[in-house]
Amino acid sequence: MGSAVPNKLSISDATTKIADGTLTSEALIQSCLDRVSERNDTVQAWAFLEPDLALAQARKRDQQKAKGLLHGIPIAIKDIIDTADMPTECNSPIYKGYRPDKDAAVVELLRNAGAVIFGKTVTTEFASTFPGPTTNPHNPEHTPGGSSQGSGAAVADFMVQGALGTQTGGSVIRPNAYCGTVGYKPPYNTYDKTGVKPLSSTFDTVGFMVRHLDDVPIVSAVLAGRNPVKVSKGIAPNLLLHRTAQWDEAEECVQNLLEECAEKFAASGASVRDHSFDEPYDNVQAMQRVVMAVEACRDFRKEWTEYRDLLSEPFQQLLLRGFECSPEERGAAEGLVKHARENLPNLFKPGEIILTLGAPGEAPKGLHSTGSSIFNRAWTFFGVACLYLPVTKGPNGLPIGIQLVDPLNDEARLLNAGHWCARALGLTIT
């Protein structure tokens, strides 16, 4: 629900207030900047933020008639996504001070919809594993997840209404899980990736984080260049409880949460049945990593050849894995991706929604790692739509929740399931 404090408003509430004249974009942006001033020394979410630039955009929006679904709304951009008026540095010394000539396609769509491009959020190096300085806003001793670490932390800490991220393994859903925000990863290639630094073209997917379910179809519509989908919100979903082959690697708190949620959903009228994949899809983690490594060494050949000493050790190891991969191993992995995506519609019936974990537990302590993506990689492998819902807090006081997956990629159906599940759990994220 809406709040009197502008930076805590949902996107839908803020756009309503801006439209009816009870809030200006400048006031909204200033409220977000005040929050950044108060908290960013601890959270460290921003790779680039120029208050005067953000305020200038807001004042321009206030002088205009509303031009789109996000008129006057601050949106943050992960720092591997090009912005013509801000650096894109990819958390790498190789790109220190680099300024692109033009916006990425998704940034252009945001501007055309009236959004204020608030700033650039910290990413791991090239959206891989080597982290930046960002901390979890719930406890700075813990990771916010990655690779979209700054985007997750900034939205969770009320510094901005929404933020773009990208996912190649689990880099949208996991930061949402660790920071306690609503996350959406659309089906593969739903949003244009032009102007996004590639890591693995087969898996790279632009997604985003917000704090309210009602904001998901708004942002998604803008990024897809269409009208928002109509969400019924009232139909009990047909849920497939999927524990995954990595179930034993999950903490007891999230195992129990998933089981409890499934019981509540069944008691509230949803159909819930157990689900698992048979071979060869029961464990695709290794194949996903092979394809990612092979494609990374192709896309980063220049950086490897000319700037190897400026690459982190973990990123060098990723590229070496790709260079050393045999043609047979590469062919098998790429073949399985193609087969899986083509065959997936044969494995599910229309209306079935997968209920599963979004992360193996609470955000781990320490900032040397962004945590494990074992409960995300399979869905990135299949290229399917994922929605993350924060539900409660674990024993260490950090957020935990659930992930919903639509294997047939119907956004409206997935969002309906999300709203229904949120109401069944009594959540206030609608």
Domain segments of the chain as ranges:
6-224, 238-280+342-425, 285-335
Q: Could you confirm whether 92 is annotated as catalytic?
A: no
Q: Which two tokens stand for residue 133?
A: 């300085």
Facing residues of 402 across strands?
389
Active-site residue among 12, 25, 31, 171? 171
pTM recorded for the entire structure? 0.97
Pick the CATH number of 238-280+342-425 from 1.10.3210, 4.10.830, 3.40.50, 3.40.190: 3.40.190
Whole-number pLDDT of residue 283: 81
Q: Which two tokens stand for residue 38?
A: 């108060």
Element (H, E) at 333: helix 327-343
| DSSP of 136-170 | BTTBTTB---SSSHHHHHHHHTTS-SEEEEEESSS
Whole-number pLDDT of residue 1: 37
How many helices (H) and strands (E) would you count in the chain? 14, 11
Active-site residue among 147, 148, 312, 373? 147
Q: Could you confirm whether 147 is annotated as catalytic?
A: yes
CB-based burial label for 428 (10 Å; 0-12, 13-18, 19+): exposed
Cis amide prior to 92 (ω within 30 degrees): no
Whole-number pLDDT of residue 58: 98
Nearest to 390 by CA among 350, 430, 336: 430
Which DSSP category does 268 fall into? Answer: T
Give the rounded percent of residues in the chain with a pLDDT score beyond 70.
Answer: 99
Contact indicator for 201, 299 with CB cutoff of 8 Å: yes
Contact indicator for 424, 405 with CB cutoff of 8 Å: no
Distance of alpha carbon 181 from alpha carbon 156, whole angstroms: 6
Q: What is the pLDDT along the chain (430 residues), one digit of tens a residue?
A: 344 799 999 999 999 999 999 999 999 999 999 999 999 999 999 999 999 999 999 999 999 998 899 999 999 999 999 999 999 999 999 999 999 999 999 999 999 999 999 999 999 999 999 999 999 999 999 999 999 999 999 999 999 999 999 999 999 999 999 999 999 999 999 999 999 999 999 999 999 999 999 999 999 999 999 999 999 888 999 999 999 999 999 999 999 999 999 999 999 999 999 999 998 998 899 999 999 999 999 999 999 999 999 999 999 999 999 999 999 999 999 999 999 999 999 999 999 999 999 999 999 999 999 999 999 999 999 999 999 999 999 999 999 999 999 999 999 999 999 999 999 999 999 8
Q: Hey, is 274 helix, strand or coil?
A: strand
Q: 6-224, what's its fold? A: Amidase signature (AS) enzymes (3.90.1300)
Q: Hey, is 182 helix, strand or coil?
A: strand
Contact indicator for 401, 389 with CB cutoff of 8 Å: yes
Whole-number pLDDT of residue 67: 81
Active-site residue among 17, 78, 193, 197? 78
Q: Could you confirm whether 271 is annotated as catalytic?
A: no
Give the rounded percent of residues in the chain with a pLDDT score beyond 90.
Answer: 96
Facing residues of 275 across strands?
242
